[in-house]
């Protein structure tokens, strides 16, 4: 089995968006644009990527590779095998089903040949009843190629009694519970769908006469496409012959977009829900400075994701902003067959303290989140080794106390520091002079909800902070996961 | 011939430090530490790297590879071939002699077997009389393995009538004109040398009982070594059996350290000449804001090298600092067999404008230097496309009007924008609302010379700005290069 | 798509066995023995190979690779991923469905997860109603992973209403028309099946307490297994806990073993139907010398497959045997990205005439078969260029006038020289002094049928010579293939 | 260090020709022809190969690779880097200096830049005073790139006071003691030289207007070149502008061509000294049958090198020739990271006994030589396991009792079975019913010396059989090797 090389020793102390999707229809050599789009979405999934294209002469063609988009899908010889005006692509981190053990057959897009013709789909999100669906499908004779939950969708489509692919997809998605933003294609159609809650993002762009679907707007920019609008929660868009039609296959529900996309997953140069992600993060820093002020000499981001909030914190507090921690630009994600020493280096391979700057200073470190806390401890050690007088952590998200079941790779609940410790206990555990998280209301204010979180009917999915799951995670409950009780 | 993959389309619009050197003596598995040190020095040379080690059982062993240190010298199977307590290493960009056409045999360290035993050397810098030396050596029967100028040194050593390697090296270096910081080794000795002017950096560190030589202090940090002091201009240090001795083989001269190391080449977390590189760069921004103020809404760095100066500019001017340009973290340096589209993408593969932030704003862009100006034009286009109201460039170095012959890869003089245009002409050429470079005196103030540049006897090598070459570039003059005339 | 490298320019002038299968049960590290068995069966399929193993701890594991067994399945790191006491494997040439365009997903064994547990199968042969089955299965919602006809079997198994895998396999195989020798496995069982006519070979061996299934006996020899008997036509054997049981799921029919296995496909050191393949081939040479004598100076084989018949011809005729054509031992099967010159070299890359030996001689060349005749022409040219006085071709099989639909890769009928030319016309076309094929009766005598071929009820499948197809090739007939008419 | 993969477990029981050389001048894209020639000479060196070419635009270009010629030098992308009308190449087994530890820098041709221009040389043979020369050259300041003895030649050339390359080469070769056939080139000349004894072969061919130099004639055949004549012992030929001139730089001596080239090293389709190698070997079998007759049922070759002698033995003795041992065609030379099982398989991976043929038979096995005897023992075991009644070994060369110092890789003397055992002792050691080697006189008769060996002044170099070394192996004597004493 071709297996994924081992991840970084310190990689397990962050949350990972599992996927990015991108599709282009009605443009010559569509796969080239998909490759660029996926490159811009690489932060959503660094493990592997795939592209499927279609042209009249060669039919469907597919390439799936481990590694970065730029190392695979920039080569002429590979891209020549992906001709045609219609193409979709996918980058992935890893599925919930097979962490650290992905095989190439798990890499999307998935393709199926139906009696009505073939279709390929790329899925961002997670199906919470996938185990049950898989059991049922195997019982009825379906053979799964992969360990990916997303493959259920294509089998449900294959078994639909509808004749046309869009109707088959609607049939299939009505059986599926969970969060999904899907980009799909038939021989002639580009299709985009978003689940009724709209948990994961999906945007629509225009490239000349053609159309583009993308997880984020930053990937429209790289190919020079114009941002048109978001695909709406519960909407299915179908592009055929340069004409876009909109469909509503699901019962309407109040949207619950993932608030963590604003905090961490999306790129700062993307626009989500009409707001600049960068500006939202800077505003989180402003809110943090108001909620949790501190006397200090420097505000330093933990690179790179803490930077916008650190800028905001500095601007609101008046404490000078400085690059106290320098990131090595030449770090990739993984090592093949690393030496013992490399295995033990951890975060020092990636970050170094700016010793001359830090010595004797009271330092505010702004980070995006605390997951297991292991990286935070190493950073605190490095900062104190360099002679800092005080270390104050300010975290640009509320405590992450619950796992995500909607497409983000989270540790089990017992590995989450915030699941078992109070803020004060975490401060002592991390060994810092102070530790403060932004409040849930502060976060909602930063994303533009001036009145904060509507506790009765929250405006976002914030299950990872609140334990309030808008879609019941049925497979996990079957496996023993316990929902938050009224008492908690 | 194994050839280097083609460089980025936009790579030719920057200056490149050609090399970083690192050596460790008196520590078990020294090569592992060298690998980490080279990883921390990767910014000084991304094309290729090599390590030579020695132990009593296996003698000298060597590995040289194209590509990043982290992709080669982290593997157990490779590092197992480099045993022993003594090792040196080198990362390189490319030699002046063979741009874009490097072969593995050009990758250092170079090794030679002498009648007195073998020696390996790694060289940072450039020999300005290499062509003449090479001609002479070939005439006398030496056979060159590489196209590298540095190989002259090892042939001169081989032909020395001295018996011991350090004396052979002194013999050789007295014939050599140019800038050099050298790390070398014999079976039992670790040797460091710096040319009399001390143009290129070299520092000394302690790791337990062992000793470390490194181009920069940031590479001491990664292995936990303690910074002891700089190797002094004109000094040769020899470490044997954990004892360091200092020698002065050259006639003393007033040092002329490269001022561009402060501006751009060195990492911001290194300490040069007792000063934090980050702090120097921030101070350049402060000086720039004083010298060339402007009314604007935002100060944005051109990532990543413009960041510290942008922070300083913002702090001095009071104009808010913002990340107006976002860098894609997943860009490497090169593409193998790229598609036409990739070839044409240029800077957009690496940078994207934060459109929501920039729209309608007057933006100060702070960049480290202007070489050809091609990247600056593309960035200005991207910023204006995103709707900026005004674009003001502030450059953290004086106009680069002269090529460097001391170990930095510079275009020929006629390709340097500042060689043929005034600041005002460059402003028009780049199409920006204003363009200002820091003055040479301002730069000197930022590096700590309160009185500015001493025109009679400059404190630094600033030939790239001033045309004042402290070492006559004899090979180039022979090839037709014209020194600055009194009239200029 | 990972695609197969291009075949040899001259590869299209030979018939290719499409597959070899091998399975081991009840032996520690079974996959290692499978690897050796596949190496011994490499002549039956050089394009790709795969192994599936099972052990209690890791479940099913699989590795599939392009290239020779010896280049992939000899590595410790790969074999470590295939633990357990039960393993099956497959080598393949290419499927009828996708000549020259195989993808890794087409490489067997195929694996399917059923409600009753998983199973893997490796198939040698061809399903003549695969298109119809595939259409039906897709219509009912099955999703095919590959272009291989063999995949139908696993989908039919998945849809069977039987609970246990052997019964599911019987269900599936009763729907299948064609020739098949199958080696399969569940978590605990090793299964072998042969179609009712027994067209393709399959033998049973014993290795200590364990059991072995193999396409040929030569692969038992390499692992030191004892040859027990052939799996009989129409028999299914099941090994579980070291106990073998025999089953008869099909209606009995008179066997029709492939006579070409004796002539060409099987290795000379294998035993087929109780006869040494080498001895049969030598006997073909004897028969040829009787049927088609000629006055000549030397009998030379076309290496390597013509060798045994040439020895027999020499012994019967008294004409000295000699190596007139020398084979280059360092030829592999394929070239990646070959130069124009390599593409045009053809057979000269592989064969060279022993010029000093051939000059002025009357030469009998013994070859195994004539397919398109293109190689024969090149060999005749080489022999005459070397100065031979006369060239007489003697062919160790009857004229190949009909394609095989039972697991051998044959050109379309209009490409077969013998389909449109008489023996005399072929002689003129090839430009040789004489050309004679062994008669069909002579061939039958050589394989031990003293009375020759029983025209009413032939003892073997000889469709490629006679056009008498024992199983109607229904897919091909649907595609326009015309069976032999009574008049032909 | 890039190291050679480990050799076969059974590879150490054969003698290996260390090199083949090939050169082409005056033909467009000469390197393509060199690649084909090296492919035909692959049997002379399978470890690595290299080609140097020259054209006016690009100067000298070079590619050196581990592995087979066909896997490297058939690719368009590599061959495109080797343009021009002049090219030379080399295949190698390994140098005497670095068995099993070759690095790419040891792979020839070697290139040197002289004051008179550059030259590349490829060397077949061995320099017996290389250690002494190397010491002297290093003492005088030469730096060696490789561990290869052949590199001395290029350093001696570099230090020559002559101006032109051919004269420099003559200067150098007059200092060299040993056996050499050299193909070299300058920018405009193709040069061939053979040592005064002519120990190693070198032939001259014509390809259109151009000229070809090759170790053997079989490599002329593959490119369609016409065999002109052998380069004579002590001759230097220089081709420039399609004109060949002949020079005699050495004092004339009576030639001593290597007799083992006839027995084993050269390909059977080559012509050596005006005789077909195949015919010579067949004649050895005839002589053997006369010298050492035996009653038996079958004569079988040990494939493949024993085949011609076995044919001769059969023809002379009247015992039928048969393929009793079958060779697996898919064996390469080496395994990378082999499993324990593969390591232990030995000869069974390559050879299998034709059991049905051998059972109960008295078998004469004809092999080319016995070196250590380890393979012979394994073959005897396989044959007896298969049920042979008797096993008689007949060896087509005299006992190999002395190492070769002239370019053949031989074990040290104490590893050679014949160095310490009589024929009868060897028979008992190998456990066979009889063992006979051809006599030295019989061998001489087979190569055409009707009167056998001239003991006073032998016609060939037969040091490996006789201990009579025509060139004193001075380095080895210095290392302790003892020449045959008068008493032996």
In sequence order, what are the beta bridge partners of D19?
A: D92
| 8 Å CB contact between A223 and A206 | no
User: What percent of chain A stands above pLDDT 70?
Assistant: 94
User: What percent of chain A stands above pLDDT 90?
Assistant: 81
CB contact under 8 A, B141 and D155: yes
pLDDT at B28: 95
To the question of whether residue C258 is assigned a binding role by annotation, the answer is yes
Physical contact, B and C (3 or more Cβ pairs within 8 A) = no
Q: Collect all residues of chain C within an 8 Å Cβ-Cβ radius of residue D359.
A: none
User: What percent of chain C stands above pLDDT 70?
Assistant: 94
Categorize the per-residue pLDDT at A190 as very low, low, confident or very high, splitting at 50, 70 and 90: very high
User: What percent of chain D stands above pLDDT 70?
Assistant: 94
Categorize the per-residue pLDDT at A98 as very low, low, confident or very high, splitting at 50, 70 and 90: very low
CA distance B122 to C319: 71
CA distance D91 to D32: 15
Residue of B221, B314, B347, B381 for testing the chain A interface, max A β-carbons within 10 Å = B221
What are the two backbone dihedrals, phi and then psi, of residue D26, each rounded to the nearest 5 degrees?
85, 25
What subunits make at least 3 CB pairs under 8 angstroms with D?
B, C
Burial group, residue D251, by CB count within 10 angstroms (0-12, 13-18, 19+): exposed
pLDDT at C347: 86
What are the two backbone dihedrals, phi and then psi, of residue B206, each rounded to the nearest 5 degrees?
-120, 135
Indicate the residue of C218, C307, C331 with minimum beta-carbon distance to D70: C331
Secondary element (H or E) of residue D394: strand D390-395
Q: What is the mean pLDDT of chain A?
A: 92
User: Whole-model pTM?
Assistant: 0.88
To the question of whether residue B152 is assigned a binding role by annotation, the answer is no
Whether A485 has a pLDDT exceeding 90, the answer reads no
Secondary element (H or E) of residue D86: strand D86-92
B19 among known catalytic residues? yes
To the question of whether residue C305 is assigned a binding role by annotation, the answer is yes
Nearest C-alpha in D relative to B116: D139
Instruction: For C286-319, write each residue's pLDDT tens digit.
Output: 999 999 999 999 999 999 889 999 999 999 999 9
Mean pLDDT of D152-158: 96
Indicate the residue of A269, A279, A348 with minimum beta-carbon distance to B326: A269
CB contact under 8 A, B143 and D141: no
Residue of D306, D326, D337 for testing the chain C interface, max C β-carbons within 10 Å = D326
pLDDT at A16: 67
pLDDT at C255: 97
pLDDT at D12: 55
Instruction: For B73-97, write each residue's pLDDT tens digit.
Output: 999 999 999 999 999 999 998 644 4
| Residues of C identified as active-site | 19
CB contact under 8 A, C141 and A142: yes
CB contact under 8 A, A61 and C139: no
Indicate the residue of C307, C308, C338 with minimum beta-carbon distance to D74: C338
pLDDT at C94: 62
Whether B100 has a pLDDT exceeding 70, the answer reads no
Instruction: Give the number of beta-carbon pairs within 8 Å between A and C.
Output: 53
| Residues of D identified as active-site | 19
Alpha-carbon gap: B159 to the closest alpha carbon of chain D (Å): 4
pLDDT at B94: 62
Categorize the per-residue pLDDT at A1 as very low, low, confident or very high, splitting at 50, 70 and 90: very low
Among 3.40.50.300, 3.40.50.261, 3.40.50.2020, 3.60.150.10, what is the CATH number of C281-447? 3.40.50.2020
Whether B16 has a pLDDT exceeding 80, the answer reads no
Nearest to A483 by CA among A422, A418, A413, A423: A413
User: What percent of chain B stands above pLDDT 90?
Assistant: 82
Whether B7 has a pLDDT exceeding 60, the answer reads no
Angle value at C-alpha C21, between C18 and C24, nearest 5 degrees: 170
Categorize the per-residue pLDDT at B4 as very low, low, confident or very high, splitting at 50, 70 and 90: very low
Indicate the residue of A29, A71, A357 with minimum beta-carbon distance to B276: A357
Mean pLDDT of C324-342: 82
Least confident window among A301-305, B85-89, B244-248, C283-287: A301-305
Helix (H, G, I), strand (E, B) or coil at C15: coil
| 8 Å CB contact between B47 and B104 | no
Q: Which residues contact D193 (CB under 8 A, 6 or more apart)?
A: D169, D173, D180, D181, D182, D184, D231, D235, D236, D237, D249
Whether C12 has a pLDDT exceeding 60, the answer reads no
Q: Collect all residues of chain A within an 8 Å Cβ-Cβ radius of residue C114.
A: 138
Physical contact, D and A (3 or more Cβ pairs within 8 A) = no
Least confident window among B24-38, B371-385, D105-119, D177-191: D105-119
Question: Where do the CATH 3.60.20.10 domains begin and end in chain B?
Answer: 11-255
Angle value at C-alpha B127, between B123 and B129, nearest 5 degrees: 155
Among 3.30.500.10, 3.30.470.20, 3.40.190.10, 3.40.50.2020, what is the CATH number of B281-450? 3.40.50.2020
Whether D143 has a pLDDT exceeding 90, the answer reads yes
Residue, of A99 and B450, whose pLDDT is higher = B450
CA distance C146 to C106: 5
Burial group, residue C264, by CB count within 10 angstroms (0-12, 13-18, 19+): buried
Report, in this order, helix, strand and coil percent for chain D, each rounded to 5: 30, 25, 45
To the question of whether residue C152 is assigned a binding role by annotation, the answer is no
Look up the ipTM and state it.
Answer: 0.91
Question: Where do the CATH 3.40.50.2020 domains begin and end in chain A?
Answer: 281-450
CB contact under 8 A, A326 and B70: no
Question: For tokens 């496995």, what's the residue?
Answer: C185
Q: Collect all residues of chain B within an 8 Å Cβ-Cβ radius of residue D159.
A: 140-141
Whether D476 has a pLDDT exceeding 60, the answer reads yes
Indicate the residue of C113, C115, C141 with minimum beta-carbon distance to A158: C141
What are the two backbone dihedrals, phi and then psi, of residue A275, each rounded to the nearest 5 degrees?
-120, 145
The answer, yes or no, to whether the previous bond of B4 is cis (omega within 30 of 0) is no
Among 3.80.30.20, 3.30.2270.10, 3.40.50.2020, 3.40.50.1820, what is the CATH number of D275-457? 3.40.50.2020
CA distance C203 to C219: 10
Nearest C-alpha in B relative to A222: B348
CB contact under 8 A, D115 and B62: no
Q: How far is CA D139 from CA B169, D134, D168, in A?
A: 16, 8, 20
Regarding beta strands C86-92 and D19-25, do their DSSP bridges make them parallel or antiparallel, or are they unpaired? unpaired
pLDDT at A4: 33
Whether C449 has a pLDDT exceeding 60, the answer reads yes
Q: Which residues contact C11 (CB under 8 A, 6 or more apart)?
A: C333
Q: Measured between alpha carbons, how far apart are the two ends of chain D, in Å?
A: 44
Mean pLDDT of A235-258: 96
Instruction: For A5-28, write each residue's pLDDT tens digit.
Output: 333 334 457 676 679 999 999 999
Q: In CATH, what class is B11-255?
A: alpha beta
Mean pLDDT of C408-412: 86
Question: Where do the CATH 3.40.50.2020 domains begin and end in chain D?
Answer: 275-457
> Using the 8-state DSSP alphabet, how is residue A223 labeled?
T
Helices (H), C359-485: 374-385, 417-420, 423-430, 440-446, 463-466, 474-478
Alpha-carbon gap: C17 to the closest alpha carbon of chain D (Å): 16
Mean pLDDT of B224-241: 97
Question: Where do the CATH 3.40.50.2020 domains begin and end in chain C?
Answer: 281-447
Whether C488 has a pLDDT exceeding 90, the answer reads no
> How would DSSP label each residue in D287-343?
HHHHHS----SEEEE-TTTTHHHHHHHHHHH-PPB---EEE-TT--SB-SSB-HHHH
To the question of whether residue B258 is assigned a binding role by annotation, the answer is yes
Categorize the per-residue pLDDT at C95 as very low, low, confident or very high, splitting at 50, 70 and 90: very low
Q: What is the mean pLDDT of chain C?
A: 92
Burial code (b: 16+ CB inside 10 Å, e: under 16) for C14-24 equals ebbbbbbbbbb
What are the two backbone dihedrals, phi and then psi, of residue B182, each rounded to the nearest 5 degrees?
-120, 135
Whether B225 has a pLDDT exceeding 90, the answer reads yes
Categorize the per-residue pLDDT at A94 as very low, low, confident or very high, splitting at 50, 70 and 90: low
Alpha-carbon gap: B240 to the closest alpha carbon of chain D (Å): 25
Nearest C-alpha in C relative to A61: C1
Q: Which residues contact B441 (CB under 8 A, 6 or more apart)?
A: B452, B453
């Amino acid at each position: 089995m071709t297996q994924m090389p081992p991840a970084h020793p310190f990689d397990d102390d962050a949350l990972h968006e599992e996927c990015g999707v991108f599709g282009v229809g009605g443009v010559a050599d569509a796969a080239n644009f998909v490759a660029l789009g996926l490159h811009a979405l690489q932060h959503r999934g660094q493990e592997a990527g795939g592209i499927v294209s279609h042209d009249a002469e060669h039919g469907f063609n597919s390439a799936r590779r481990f590694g970065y988009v730029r190392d695979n899908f920039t080569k002429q010889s590979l891209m020549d095998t992906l001709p045609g005006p219609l193409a979709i692509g996918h980058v992935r981190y890893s599925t919930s089903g097979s962490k650290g053990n992905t095989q190439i057959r798990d890499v999307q897009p998935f393709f199926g040949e139906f009696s009505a013709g073939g279709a390929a789909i790329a899925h961002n999100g997670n199906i919470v009843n996938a185990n049950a669906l898989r059991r049922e499908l195997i019982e009825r004779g379906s053979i799964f190629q992969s360990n990916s939950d997303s493959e259920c969708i294509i089998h449900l489509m294959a078994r639909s009694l509808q004749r046309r692919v869009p109707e088959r997809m609607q049939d299939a998605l009505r059986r599926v519970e969970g969060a999904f933003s899907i980009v799909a294609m038939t021989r002639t159609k580009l299709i985009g769908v978003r689940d009724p809650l709209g948990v994961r993002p999906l945007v629509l762009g225009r490239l000349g006469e053609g159309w583009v679907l993308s997880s984020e707007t930053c990937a429209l920019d790289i190919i020079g496409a114009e941002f048109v609008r978001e695909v709406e929660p519960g909407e299915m868009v179908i592009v055929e012959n340069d004409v876009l039609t909109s469909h509503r296959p699901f019962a309407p529900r109040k949207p619950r977009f993932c608030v963590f996309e604003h905090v961490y997953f999306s790129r700062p140069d993307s626009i989500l829900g009409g707001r600049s992600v960068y500006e939202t993060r800077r505003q989180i820093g402003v809110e943090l400075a108001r909620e949790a002020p501190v006397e200090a000499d420097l505000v330093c981001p933990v690179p790179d994701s803490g930077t916008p909030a650190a800028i905001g914190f500095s601007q609101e507090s008046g404490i000078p902003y400085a690059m106290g921690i320098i990131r090595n630009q030449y770090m990739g994600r993984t090592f093949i067959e690393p030496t013992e020493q490399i295995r033990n280096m951890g975060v020092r391979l990636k970050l170094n303290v700016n010793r001359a700057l830090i010595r004797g200073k009271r330092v505010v470190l702004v980070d995006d989140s605390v997951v297991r806390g292991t990286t935070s401890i190493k950073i605190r050690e490095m900062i104190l080794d360099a002679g800092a007088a005080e270390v104050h952590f300010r975290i640009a998200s509320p405590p992450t106390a619950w796992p995500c079941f909607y497409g983000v790779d989270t540790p089990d609940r017992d590995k989450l520091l915030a699941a078992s410790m109070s803020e004060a206990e975490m401060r002592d555990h991390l060994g810092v002079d102070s530790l403060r998280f932004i409040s849930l209301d502060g976060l909602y204010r930063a994303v533009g909800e001036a009145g904060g979180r509507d506790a009765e009917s929250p405006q976002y999915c914030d299950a990872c902070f609140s334990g309030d799951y808008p879609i019941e995670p049925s497979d996990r409950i079957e496996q023993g996961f316990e929902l938050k009780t009224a008492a908690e």
